[in-house]
Amino acid sequence: MHLSWLIIFTIMLVIAVVAFSYALNKKIRILALSVKEERYDNPATRFKNFVVQVLGQKKMLNEPYGVVHFIIFWGFIFIVLGELPLIFEGLFPDYSFFFLGTNPYFYMIKDTMTALVVIGLFGGAYRRWVLKPVRLSRTPEAAIIVILVIGVIVTEWISSGAKVALEPDAAYSLAFMYHAFASMFSGYSTETLMAIRDSFWWIHMVILLGFLVYIPNSKHMHLLAVHPNVYFSSLKPIGAQITTMDLEDEELTELGVARIESFTWKQLLDSFACGECGRCMSNCPATLSGKPLNPKQLLSHELKDHLLEKGAMMNKYGLKSTGEDNEEELAKIAESNPEDYAILMKKLIGDVVAEDEIWACTTCMSCQVQCPVSNEHVNKIIDMRRSLVMMDSNFAPELQTTFRNVENNFNPWGVEYSERANWAAGLDVGLMSENSDVEYLYWVGCAGSFDARAQKVSISVAKILKAAGVKFAILGSEEKCCGDFIRRTGNEFMYQTMVAENVELLNGYKVKKIIAACPHCLNTLKNEYPDFGGNYEVIHHTQLIEELIKDGKLVLNTAGEYEPQRIVYHDSCYLGRYQQEYKAPRALFNMVPGVELVEMDRNHDKSFCCGAGGGRMWMEEHIGERINNMRVEQAFDKNAEVIGANCPFCITMLEDGVKDKTADSEKMVRVVDPAELIAKMI
């Protein structure tokens, strides 16, 4: 036993562990400033998510480069395991570490994994610094970690290589990297080999412990935070994650989030878990169209940096919040320490996150669907919108007009509400108020009721349902805006008012099954109404039509002349990512003779938003490129005559984009819903 080694190593270890714990504790105390949130239910499901996403790296592997991360992740685990015999046998050379230290297969796997990690790191570094993809940042932090990890691995190879060269050990018989280094050292004297073995053992330990301390002090906190973050990630469907506020609560004085400590711990943990991979920004319509919102930047820098700075300051003064309840305390700090006060008073909205940034989000959910650490970006944005709208009444004037339209006429267009069923004139569509003994309620939605273009889809759907003998009715002038855009623009108060009225009506008719032609209505009715006592089985018209055809209830007439047409399909966010329904609309298009259905480059869960979601439909787009035009250009790349869609808002946005981007009005690309083509075949 090397007594002096043991003493020195112990001192180093204690210092490193203390420094590590200090830094980690500082972050935990900052997180503890936040608001409570219940995320402890369903441990089995949570553990499964952890296994799939962390151990299995499922989302990482959705992209080819994810393989590198997979290797690094598992390589790390073997490096850590390998440290056990390395440290133990270094300090107690006469003994072998239990099991690992004597197992040649362990060393074989470890050598394989570490060799792959080094190759992977070089590949990753080449990509980051030579190919320079936009989504990866080229920061010193990113470089330091690569150097540290390679340092850890290579020093261990050298030290163990020298050890093998000194005296072959059966345990290392399959450790090819050790042997490679040992053969490099052939011919070296025993003293030299011992010096190499010992000095690199120490260099290795210094790098290793330095690495340990570096983790909680850098963005590589990711390595620690990702585990709880994935375990505690939301178990709700992606369309049900907006929190329902208790507006009856008399205590409630602040609505939404205007201060960083008003987020919940899980909302803030997201920032620490972020690995800065940039997947979220690489398909974000706001980022790509040049708006000030970048989901990666928002989480990994704006919110995190502010949290660390302000949180540390709050802990310094023992403040639990910087709201009105602490006014006196804050006034004292303003007197005694104006600089600290300035940090405490930095405004989350305005100083840290710009208003335009908050309004740029279309709630397309691409960020969350792509994020490998299961971060939840959108909720934070909605919470900040809630503060702007409900506390400060601060939002675009055109949105104000829209809110008023809903207040007065229950639809965002502001058309007189009694005209809601005018589209159905002459179609012999029943009203629930006349006969509610039907299988389905057809929820037409505001667009389908009032927008001239969407009305055509409503008419097609009604004709198809009638032809298939489906027993259904509509609500007519009793139907009111579902509230989707109202909630997503932060007006939770008005949303809940609309929902209460709609739920009362629907439950009064004992509605069980609903057909929605608008994916936005579909999502809120299906995923959000249950919080308000509205429990319905909701289906999109394309899903039902596909079923009806499959079951033989709707027979299509394929005789006759059909011109060949090339249709490029656009997945709406709210049917695609929100409902994971990619099949049904495609199946319907494919049933039409002569149709050749093609995909855009960005399709399925990587589809690109049309720009209308999250209330953006009702707001001017002043900054950057128009998102709908970008999507239309992506469609034009496929040289199709028609763009296929499934959502009334997508249809409007895409048609506007087509008009904007087509010089020759004779050659206008059409935008159609599959129901319109199917209706012509009955």
Partner 1 sequence: MNIVVCIKQTFNTEAKIVLDSNGKIEDKGVNLIINPYDEYAIEEGIKLKEKFGGSVTVVSMGGTTVQAAMRTSMAMGIDKGILISDPALENTDEHGRAVVLAKALSTIPYDIILSGRMAIDDCSSQLAIRLAEILNIPSVSSVIKLEIEGTQATITKEIDGGTKIVEVALPAVITTTKGLNEPRYPSVAGIMKSKKKELKIVTLAELGLSSEDLTPKMNVVKHSIPDARKAGQKIAGEPAQAAQELARLLREEAKIL
Q: Is 363 in the site for ligand SF4 (CB under 6 A)?
A: yes
Q: Residue 431 forms beta bridges with which residues?
A: 474
Q: Which of 377, 385, 540, 606 binds ligand SF4 (CB under 6 A)?
A: 377
From ligand SF4, partner 1, none, which one binds at residue 417 (CB under 5 to 8 Å depending on kind)?
partner 1
Q: Is 353 in the site for ligand SF4 (CB under 6 A)?
A: no
Residue type, 164: V
Q: Would you say 218 and 197 are in contact if contact means Cβ atoms under 8 Å apart?
A: no
Say which residue the tokens 């390595």 belong to: 223
Q: Would you say 46 and 232 are in contact if contact means Cβ atoms under 8 Å apart?
A: yes
Q: Is 361 in the site for ligand SF4 (CB under 6 A)?
A: yes
From partner 1, ligand SF4, none, which one binds at residue 299 (CB under 5 to 8 Å depending on kind)?
ligand SF4
Shortest CB 640 distance to ligand SF4, Å: 25
From partner 1, ligand SF4, none, which one binds at residue 389 (CB under 5 to 8 Å depending on kind)?
partner 1
Shortest CB 576 distance to partner 1, Å: 32
Q: How far apart are the first and last CA of the chain?
A: 89
Q: Is 392 in the site for partner 1 (CB under 8 A)?
A: yes
- Segment near ligand SF4 (CB under 6 A), from 123-131, 203-211, 371-379, 496-504? 371-379
Residues 218-247: x where in contact with partner 1 by CB under 8 A, - otherwise, as a string: -----------------------------x
Contacts to ligand SF4 from residues 50-69, by CB under 6 A: none
Residues 245-264: x where in contact with partner 1 by CB under 8 A, - otherwise, as a string: --x----x--x---------
Q: Which of 186, 393, 557, 665 binds partner 1 (CB under 8 A)?
A: 393
- Segment near ligand SF4 (CB under 6 A), from 86-94, 230-238, 296-304, 640-648? 296-304
Q: Would you say 161 and 178 are in contact if contact means Cβ atoms under 8 Å apart?
A: yes
The count of chain residues that interact with partner 1, using the rule CB under 8 A, is 24
DSSP notation for 617-662: GGS---SSS-HHHHHHHHHHTTT-SEEE---HHHHHHHHHHHHHH-
Q: How many CB atoms lie within 10 A of CB 594?
A: 12
Q: Which residues of 272-307 are buried (b: 16+ CB within 10 A; e: fewer)?
A: bbbbbbbbbbbbbbbbbbebbbbbbbbbbbbbbebb
Kindly list the distances between the CA atom of residue 295 and the CA atoms of 139, 301, 309, 337, 357, in Å, as whole numbers in the listed order: 18, 10, 20, 34, 10
Q: Is 295 in the site for ligand SF4 (CB under 6 A)?
A: yes
DSSP notation for 288-317: HTT-S--HHHIIIIIIHHHHHHHHHHHHHH
Token couple for 638: 């496929």
Kindly list the distances between the CA atom of residue 316 and the CA atoms of 320, 413, 624, in Å, as whole numbers in the listed order: 11, 52, 41
Q: Is 599 in the site for partner 1 (CB under 8 A)?
A: no
Q: Is 225 in the site for ligand SF4 (CB under 6 A)?
A: no
d(CA 655, CA 437): 38
Token couple for 68: 């590198």
Q: Among residues 179 and 291, whose Cβ is nearest to ligand SF4? A: 291
Residue type, 82: G
DSSP, collapsed to helix, strand or coil, labels residue 538 as: strand
Q: Residue 367 forms beta bridges with which residues?
A: none
From partner 1, ligand SF4, none, which one binds at residue 378 (CB under 5 to 8 Å depending on kind)?
ligand SF4
Angle at CA of residue 484, ends 482 and 488, nearest 5°: 155
Of 432, 421, 525, whose CA–CA distance to 471 is shortest? 432
Q: Is 379 in the site for ligand SF4 (CB under 6 A)?
A: no
Q: Among residues 13 and 415, whose Cβ is nearest to partner 1? A: 415
Shortest CB 412 distance to partner 1, Å: 13
Q: Which of 37, 329, 419, 547 binds partner 1 (CB under 8 A)?
A: 419
Q: Which of 415, 431, 556, 598 binds partner 1 (CB under 8 A)?
A: 415
d(CA 237, CA 527): 8
Q: Among residues 361 and 669, whose Cβ is nearest to ligand SF4? A: 361
- Segment near ligand SF4 (CB under 6 A), from 27-35, 139-147, 358-366, 628-636? 358-366
Which ranges constitute the DSSP H helices of 92-189? 104-126, 140-166, 176-184
Shortest CB 457 distance to partner 1, Å: 22
Shortest CB 285 distance to ligand SF4, Å: 5
Which ranges constitute the DSSP H helices of 468-613? 484-488, 492-508, 519-523, 541-550, 583-591
Q: Is 370 in the site for ligand SF4 (CB under 6 A)?
A: yes
Maximum separation of any 2 CA atoms in the chain, in Å: 100
From partner 1, ligand SF4, none, which one binds at residue 409 (CB under 5 to 8 Å depending on kind)?
partner 1
The count of chain residues that interact with ligand SF4, using the rule CB under 6 A, is 29
Shortest CB 1 distance to ligand SF4, Å: 45
Q: Is 426 in the site for partner 1 (CB under 8 A)?
A: no
Shortest CB 654 distance to ligand SF4, Å: 17
From ligand SF4, partner 1, none, which one binds at residue 408 (CB under 5 to 8 Å depending on kind)?
partner 1
Token couple for 629: 């035009």
Residues 476-495: x where in contact with partner 1 by CB under 8 A, - otherwise, as a string: ---------------xxx--
Q: Is 45 in the site for partner 1 (CB under 8 A)?
A: no
Q: Is 450 in the site for partner 1 (CB under 8 A)?
A: no
- Segment near partner 1 (CB under 8 A), from 47-55, 112-120, 325-333, 411-419? 411-419
Size of the chain, expressed as the number of residues it contains: 682
Q: Which of 43, 64, 318, 397 binds partner 1 (CB under 8 A)?
A: 397
Say which residue the tokens 């205590």 belong to: 251
Q: Is 218 left (phi over 0), alpha (psi -120 to 50) or beta?
A: beta
Q: Is 305 in the site for partner 1 (CB under 8 A)?
A: no
Residues 262-291: x where in contact with ligand SF4 by CB under 6 A, - otherwise, as a string: ------------xxxxxxx---xxx-----
**How many Cα atoms sit within 13 Å of 319 on the Cβ side?**
25
Shortest CB 404 distance to partner 1, Å: 8
Q: Is 341 left (phi over 0), alpha (psi -120 to 50) or beta?
A: alpha
Q: What order of strands is seen across the sheet that includes strand 513-516?
A: 472-473, 440-443, 513-516, 537-540
Shortest CB 490 distance to partner 1, Å: 10
Tell me how far the alpha carbon of residue 543 is from its chain's centroid: 25
Q: Among residues 397 and 552, whose Cβ is nearest to partner 1? A: 397
Q: Could you list the residues that contact partner 1 (CB under 8 A)?
A: 247, 252, 255, 389-393, 395, 397, 400, 403-404, 408-409, 414-419, 491-493
By CB under 6 A, name the binding residues for ligand SF4. 274-280, 284-286, 293, 295-296, 299-300, 361-367, 370-373, 375, 377-378
